[in-house]
Chains A and B, each alone.
Chain A
Amino acid sequence: GQQLNQSPQSMFIQEGEDVSMNCTSSSIFNTWLWYKQEPGEGPVLLIALYKAGELTSNGRLTAQFGITRKDSFLNISASIPSDVGIYFCAGQLPGTASKLTFGTGTRLQVTL
């Protein structure tokens, strides 16, 4: 099955820094979703995007649905230690109803 290209694979940042990660594909998606997974737990939905160009915020998190519908970006501002985890993007291809294609994840580490 297809997977999305997510980058970077991992990030080591200091508390207070801003973070940016992205997901790209050669295919067009109807929906982009961003999840966070903490060790040993299931992914938690952070943000859902439905329209090309859409920009949505959830607290310190901001995500955008790329205008070409082939990419998405997630930004985290003023990172804190509890932001540590793996961030996954997921996309819904046209005609696949609620089936999702997942990115390979960005592992975020925050140091004090």
Chain B
Amino acid sequence: DGGITQSPKYLFRKEGQNVTLSCEQNLNHDAMYWYRQDPGQGLRLIYYSQIVNDFQKGDIAEGYSVSREKKESFPLTVTSAQKNPTAFYLCASSTWSPLRGEQYFGPGTRLTVT
């Protein structure tokens, strides 16, 4: 089955700790994305990557870091510098195309920091 997996589904951390969220895809997509969703809100782009070993900041990159060492994987680290890290985090992937914009999403990771 082709798709995007995110793990874990729920994550709890103490304030001041870094935490890494996993995202893997087997859709052979070039591009991958991380979004943050707060209750009752839309999706805000954190980082995206068009190809391996390259990534760009989105609208709310401060306090986050990413890597893209493999096409299939795009982990997101929420650092202690992120002032309000509790949120629902969504990973997505797509082909990189000016003509077809469809992104496909994983099931999400709910991060709670106390």
CB within 8 Å of B: which residues of A?
Answer: 1, 3, 30-31, 33, 35, 40-45, 48, 50, 88, 90-92, 94-100, 102-105
Q: Across the interface, do A44 and B101 meet the contact criterion of CB distance under 8 Å?
A: no
Count of chain B residues with Cβ under 8 Å from any Cβ of A? 31
The A-B contact count (CB < 8 A) is 76
Q: Across the interface, do B50 and A42 meet the contact criterion of CB distance under 8 Å?
A: no
Q: In the complex, what residues of B have CB within 8 A of residue A102's CB?
A: 42-43
Q: In the complex, what residues of A have CB within 8 A of residue B92's CB?
A: 42
* Chain B residues numbered 1-49 whose CB sits less than 8 Å from any CB in chain A: 4, 6, 31, 41-45, 48
Q: In the complex, what residues of A have CB within 8 A of residue B85's CB?
A: none
Closest chain A residue to B45, Cβ basis: A1
Q: In the complex, what residues of A have CB within 8 A of residue B42's CB?
A: 3, 88, 102-105
Residues A42 and B102 in contact in the complex (CB < 8 Å), given A1-B45, A88-B42, A102-B42: no
Closest chain A residue to B4, Cβ basis: A42
B114 within 8 A of partner (CB): no
Residues A1 and B44 in contact in the complex (CB < 8 Å), given A30-B98, A97-B97: yes
Q: How far is the CA of A40 from the CA of B3 in the complex (A)?
A: 17
Least CB distance from A70 to B in Å reads 16
Q: In the complex, what residues of B have CB within 8 A of residue A41's CB?
A: 107-108
